[in-house]
Structure 1
């Protein structure tokens, strides 16, 4: 029976232990509290050290057995894709979009989308340039296209970078690509904390916050744990407990839709020619999100949308994100990035710094709520939306600015604009890839659009 725990159940247990440990350390250590470092990040960093010193394993009938880093990479892949089912199912309140501005052309959501495309291009160009220059000057036998993965790891998520890396490995034999993608994603979270927390504190100190209501952070937010008597309801039940538990029902719905996504991915991989067949499972997160979107639309059409509770779906999705962030660090194998460690580090530092400078330049010149919007997208475009919300809450604890709502609806503008990047990334290893010209085109077009739409005015702060 012990053999059934190895490796995936054991890996899942390790992630759980590290999340609990991270939560405990956050509640006890003031350094972690002041910097609002999430428990998943704390646990992930500890797990990274343990993993790369050979201490992550489990006792079995055959003795202590090491759990390979690839196992955690697989968990990242599925947690990421499964979470996108929840994203597809999430219901957006229709009234909230009006809060972002009566004129959608002037809304912060569109501003965020244009900045996203420009930052993604800058990150990709930076990565490719650094890897090319390093190979030209120092030499080495490695794939310079690895540099493109920093855009996916920073501006999308570690799961997306891992997914594209997996396609490169399975379809084109680019060894270590999935681990490199995870590593870029992990470094993105660190950049979000290292750049974002000091900026938030500076904004409060210098009076850059629009609402002027930022105060001392509540103890529960600093420590990451609710005090006695402060607990809040996290979901609403849509099922009777005598029939089926509310969370069990929502997880079952998401798992069933994930199975539909799997069937589509399998059919894709079996029917389409080599070169594109790998996109079937490489884009499983997309198929999962689409099944969620279709299901939500159908339920809304037949007036049964009430059986899904948005809060329950959001909590389950958020849980997959916490597990994924922790697993990301444990899925990084130093052996896979050892040969590219120097250009990897240079790329992370250069891309992180340039991302910060570009976002700050345009945020300072945004007519309204520039600081809140800039801080939010800084966290989002180096980490995830969760990182952006975390940073925003420091300066806007009551979410009086429209930035939080805009983070939720900006994908309405992002997805149509950036599709050409997403469609070409899986084919980067092919000869004659035109990913670089695409990024250059975005780098030119996005600033023009920002100025044309009058999102750039006189510096405000």
Structure 2
């Protein structure tokens, strides 16, 4: 594949992202569902590809019909399919860059209930998924046992994590799992937003909301279209911490991200070396850490770089807002590329597994929100819990969208508690170390060791939430 082909593929992906934004601005269902332009862009690319437009052309005119492979060439799809595995490292490296570590006591008191709730949701997704695959999908449909991790990978991890694990799925002999995980992530995002808005309306009507007294239909039209009203502009994208004649601030922040990824790569190589001379040595060795992807360790690398900067950088060169813009840029490209290059044939081949796991994941999250959130979170449970539901089904951005709808004027501690909880939660679930280790553990040892560990975390989350955090009385 030539450099010109790669460059042209990137240009066309950028055009798709604009098309996705245009659809969001002009198509009412997309506005009502708050669908990100990146998902819409990926969907348009998928529709124009060989699995939809191409399949339709072949159905009508045969294999040699015009547009039998769609209007997107395979070389372009091949390029797009490689992008998520690279960009997910950028996304995770930026998660903790620019985030100072808060006081532990405040984190414990404010985010503890939501951490217990989040761990119960995340670990429970493994428990439910493994049971379904081990007892139903494996014996009766021949689905690999590693599919038991698909709910957490797709729902908690989202498109980035799902696509980032593509190489791991392939190395462990379940290449179809990568497409299933991306498809599961799409189900999670859409379900998270749809059911989240339904739950918000339900909460308003039933008096569960502490701040809303009317339907979410009052959301401004500009917000539904994903625009910033002209009277509210300009909204700064970040702060200029250095003068552009010395170095462009964007370039400097890219350097910070690169250092974080390199630290993560160093940790990964060190882990692989330790494994190669211990339990992984010899013909009968077990490869566990060698199959761990880079991106969760890039997040640890970001934490290391941040701590070094906190200690030695007296000029505060790193700006968190600018880091978020880079993260968002990488995530938009990642999501659009992952969905556009998704194989619908793989999902069709495993449709029963895909449907059963998706329905089970949605039911688990909604059921736990309705039953556990008011028992775990002493005050403002609705506003705080709705963010966790969005995040546990459709990544952090979905959680933030639902919290913005449920608490538009930031009158509750929902945002602060959610942010603190994510700092502790994300290094492990949703693309963290547990997510990275889940597939190698199931591959090497079967599903039951991971099932036992996740069941223990569910019990721990339930116990701490019901008998400790749920009984606390906070003024926050």
TM-score normalized by the length of structure 1: 0.85
- Quote the offset at 1:32 in angstroms: 1.9
Check the 8 A contact 1:362/1:456 in 2, yes or no: no
Q: Deviations over 1:74-121 (max 9, x none)?
A: 211221111111113122484xx69xxx765542x2122112221123
Q: What are the equivalent positions in structure 2 for 1:29-108 lying under 5 Å apart?
A: 29-51=27-49, 52-53=51-52, 65-67=73-75, 69=77, 71-92=79-100, 94=102, 105-107=108-110
| Aligned mates of 2:437, 2:80 — CA distance in 1 | 26
> Counterpart in 2 of 1:221?
223
> 1:161 offset after TM fit, Å?
3.5
CA deviation after TM superposition for structure 1 residue 45, in Å: 2.2
- Supply the distance in 2 between the matched residues of 1:379 and 1:113 (Cα, whole angstroms): 14
Would the aligned equivalents of 2:48 and 2:72 in 1 still touch at CA under 8 Å?
A: no
Other-structure match for 1:390 = 401
**Partner in structure 2 of residue 161 of structure 1:** 162
Contact 2:166 2:178 in 1 (8 A): yes
Kept after mapping to 1: 8 A contact 2:390/2:399: yes
Alignment correspondent of 1:402: 413
Contact 2:88 2:164 in 1 (8 A): no
Q: Deviations over 1:13-44 (max 9, x none)?
A: 33322221121111112222222222122222
Structure 1 unmatched runs, 5+ = 57-62
Which stretches in structure 2 are left out of the alignment for 5+ residues? 56-70
Going from structure 1 to structure 2, the CA distance change for 1:122 and 1:68 (only over 3 Å counts) comes to farther
Decide whether aligned partners of structure 1 residues 449 and 259 sit closer, same or farther in structure 2, where only a CA change above 3 A counts.
Answer: closer
**Corresponding residue number in structure 1 for 2:125:** 123
Counterpart CA distance in 1 for 2:84 and 2:323 is 19
Say which SS state the counterpart of residue 73 (structure 2) adopts.
strand
Q: CA deviation at 1:347?
A: 1.0
CA shift in 2, pair 1:253/1:213, >3 Å: farther
- Give secondary structure in 1 for the equivalent of 2:444: coil
Residue 426 (str. 1) matches residue 440 (str. 2): yes
CA distance in 1, matches of 2:369, 2:137: 30
Between the aligned partners of 1:250 and 1:423, the Cα distance in structure 2 is 30
Secondary structure class of the residue paired with 2:175: coil
1:34-433 equivalent positions in 2, closer than 5 A: 34-51=32-49, 52-53=51-52, 65-67=73-75, 69=77, 71-92=79-100, 94=102, 105-107=108-110, 109-135=111-137, 139-164=140-165, 166-170=167-171, 172-212=172-212, 216-231=218-233, 232-262=235-265, 264-265=267-268, 269=272, 272-273=275-276, 279=289, 282-304=292-314, 306-365=316-375, 366-414=377-425, 423-433=437-447
Name the counterpart of 1:5. 4
Return the alpha-carbon distance in structure 1 between the equivalents of residues 438 and 134 of structure 2: 20
SS of match in other structure, 1:157: helix
Change (3 A) 1:131 1:49: farther
Q: Which moved more, 1:326-335 or 1:186-195?
A: 326-335
Q: Which deviates more, 67-76 or 244-253?
A: 67-76
Q: Could you give the per-residue CA deviations for residues 201-241 of structure 1, whole angstroms, max 9, x where no partner exists?
A: 33334443213477732333111122334321121101212
TM (norm. structure 2) is 0.83
SS of equivalent to 1:383: helix
Residues 255-264 or 353-362, more deviating? 255-264
Cα deviation digits, residues 405-437 of structure 1 (max 9, x gap): 122111344368866675444321124441121
Paired residues of 1:270 and 1:277 also in contact (CA < 8 A): no
- Distance change (3 Å), C-alpha of 1:277 and 1:135: closer
